[in-house]
Amino acid sequence: MSGFVVLAWRVSYNLGNGYMEQYGATRLIQQLIHRRGDIKVKRFEDEGAYKYSYYAVLHRGERIDVSCPECGGHAYIECSNGEVQWKCSQCYAQAVKEEDYEYTGRGYCAVCERWISVELTDEKQTSHPLVHITCPHCGAVNQAQMHKRSASRGYYREIQNGRDPVFNLELYFMDHVRGKQIWAVNREHLNYLIAYVSADLRVKPGGKLIKTASHSIPAYIKDAKNRETVTRVLSKMQHKF
């Protein structure tokens, strides 16, 4: 790599978050390029925040690539007809997430006339439209309507330790860099990471001061000293299946 580009790369990291345009460093790079017309800078424009979050990917109708727990091959998680399910592309194993529900008894207390809402956990109660609940304010026993709703309400926790939050399946695109995990939710996310890490100049969409998809990338992946290693590991993942 040219010495000027190496300098540009170092400037980007010394500025903290890798975005040079916000701090006027882009002007410095342009001056260097003007002096050396043979320099080619890889420019990367970031994407919107949370684009590759677990919920966002499924909400857009896209898939999360995971490893099949039965054969170890490629499988995927998708949301179809309101149900979250995983399917294996090789052994055809599959499973559907069983919906979790919350049950509450609600109404006005017949004695103190205050609104009450009591969570129900007894299966004998949750199977009936009317239940008996104790008022937390005055202790009176009341008959109230039972209400049922989805516990997740369509939202899911984020990926932790390289595993999805619903089925606890290991992500398909996952490896390690210096003993730390590096993963992508699917091939599109993998390509995004490669483009981000290998770029010499990174900018935000339209130059605006907004949160971007890269804000959730761990610092050790962004670290300049790991750039070549990270790019090599990510590129190796591209050859899977």
Q: What is the pLDDT of residues 163-184, one digit of tens each?
A: 999 999 999 999 999 999 999 9
For the CA atoms of the chain, what is the radius of gyration? 26
Report CA-CA distances (Å) from 30 to 24, 36, 107.
10, 10, 68
DSSP conformation letters of 137-149 = TT--EEEEEEEEE
Report CA-CA distances (Å) from 45 to 118, 148, 199.
50, 45, 9
Whether the predicted pLDDT of 95 surpasses 50: yes
Q: Please report, for the chain, the start and end positions of each structural domain, with discontinuous segments joined by +.
A: 44-98+155-238, 101-150
Q: Per the confidence metrics, is the pTM higher than 0.75?
A: no
Predicted pLDDT at 101 = 79
Give the residue among 164, 160, 175 at the shortest CA–CA distance from 240: 175
pLDDT in tens, 198-221: 998 888 877 666 789 999 999 999
Predicted pLDDT at 98 = 77
Who has greater pLDDT, 124 or 133?
133
Amino acid making up residue 222: K
Supply the mean pLDDT for the chain. Answer: 84
